[in-house]
Amino acid sequence: MSDIAYLNSEFMKLSEAFVSVEDRGFQFGDGVYEVIRVYDKTPHLLREHVDRLKLSAASIQLDERLSYEEWERIVREGIDRSGYADAKIYIQLTRGVSPRDHRFPVSAPLTRVMTVREIDLEDPQLRESGVPTITVDDIRWNRCDIKSLNLLPNILSKQHATQAGAFEALFVRDGFVFEGSSSTIMVVRHGVLHTPPEGPRILSGITRDWVLNLARANEITVAEEPVSLEMLLGAQEVFLTGTTIEIMPVVTVDEHRIGDGKPGEIYHRLYQKFLASIS
Ligand code: PDD
């Protein structure tokens, strides 16, 4: 078993994959990406991830022509070559290699990268204890729905959280919370599961959709409505969702305790359903 890379139509060991210093992904962050979980050799929600990749690409005028079937073949071959049953796949598309110029290159082919690597699972103890979070100013642009490589506000906020001993930073703007630096936020109040609506201020999380469907199928009322800071702090339960963290219970926000300070009942129910849905 080994970490694998796919670079512009060729498979190789991850340690042997290199792109040019003139790649626009490196120089401008001019590209888009996806992260996909593999459970038992199966890429979870692959169609949804490929659809979102194409949507992100189209939103920045990146001419991504591979079909879903072609991506599926590449992803499956990558999983087979890696030998991993459980893995993390990263796909990145950039506007190619070209002398540095803000204008788009006229004829550079896209750079397509995929890596398949062993999954580095979160400490299972975190699901028992729940995780601390902090709030940060949402200084991001107004197209957070595009899964772009430009992640400076996200990584700075995550690092800020890490230095504060927290697991995640929650983006707040004008008194409303939008999402985490790399996760979707969900809040339970009076038994109703609230999450911010899709739009330019959040990434349309694929796990978000999956968890909301699990909630609806299990008679949990869902409200896709703006979540104020007040709602967040007064919530019975808060949790985060994302491809790698799945569902992660939150027990503090800026040292303010959520509910009784333990992962709540709706989290436990949804996480059980989530595990059943992937097995
Ligand atoms: N991030 N919001 C942001 C800003 C994210 O970066 C992510 C995921 C999510 C959750 O989306 P999904 O459920 O589709 O994974 C929400 C990935 C995992 C990352 O950047 O590594």
Question: For residues 64, 119, 272 and 47, what is the CA-based torsion angle, rounded to 10 degrees?
Answer: 10
Q: Which amino acid is at 78?
A: G
Regarding the beta carbon of 119 and ligand 1, being less than 6 Å apart is answered no
Specify the residue with its C-alpha closest to ligand 1, atom 2: 183
Distance 79 CA to ligand 1 centre (A): 21
* Matching fold, domains 4-118 and 125-278: no
Q: How close is the Cα of 243 to the center of ligand 1, in Å?
A: 7
Domain 4-118 fold is: D-amino Acid Aminotransferase; Chain A, domain 1 (3.30.470)
User: Computed from CA positions of residues 233, 235, 241, 247, in that sequence, does the dihedral angle turn out positive or negative?
Assistant: positive
CA 170, CA 90: separation in Å to the nearest integer?
Answer: 23
With H, G, I as helix, E, B as strand and everything else as coil, classify residue 221: coil
For residues 165 and 131, give the distance between their C-alpha atoms in angstroms, rounded to a whole number: 10
Asked whether 203 lines ligand 1 (CB < 6 A), one says yes
Query: Which residue's CA is the closest to the ligand 1 atom numbered 18?
Result: 243
Is residue 54 among the annotated active site residues? Answer: no
**46: nearest Cα among 93, 95, 91, 94:** 91
Per-residue pLDDT of the chain (279 residues; tens, 9 = 90+): 999 999 999 999 999 999 999 999 999 999 999 999 999 999 999 999 999 999 999 999 999 999 999 999 999 999 999 999 999 999 999 999 999 999 999 989 999 999 999 998 889 999 999 999 999 999 999 999 999 999 999 999 999 999 999 999 999 999 999 999 999 999 999 999 999 999 999 999 999 999 999 999 999 999 999 999 999 999 999 999 999 999 999 999 998 999 999 999 999 999 999 999 998
Q: How many angstroms separate the alpha carbon of residue 148 from the centre of ligand 1?
A: 11
| Strand ranges (E), the chain | 4-7, 10-13, 31-39, 42-43, 87-94, 111-118, 131-137, 168-173, 176-180, 184-189, 192-195, 222-224, 227-228, 237-242, 246-253, 256-257
Burial 81-119 (b: 16+ CB within 10 A, else e): bbebeebbbebbbbbbbbeeeeeeeeebebbbbbbbbee
Topology, domain 125-278: D-amino Acid Aminotransferase; Chain A, domain 2 (3.20.10)
Task: State if residue 244 touches ligand 1 by the CB under 6 angstroms criterion.
Answer: yes
pLDDT of residue 76: 98
Residue whose structure tokens are 């992937």: 278
What is residue 6's predicted lDDT score, i.e. its pLDDT? Answer: 98
Residue with tokens 């190789």: 12
- Does ligand 1 lie within 6 Å of residue 179's CB atom? yes
Name the CA radius of gyration of the chain, rounded: 19
**Catalytically annotated residue among 13, 54, 88, 147:** 147
Give domain limits for the chain: 4-118, 125-278
**CA-closest residue to ligand 1 atom 11:** 205
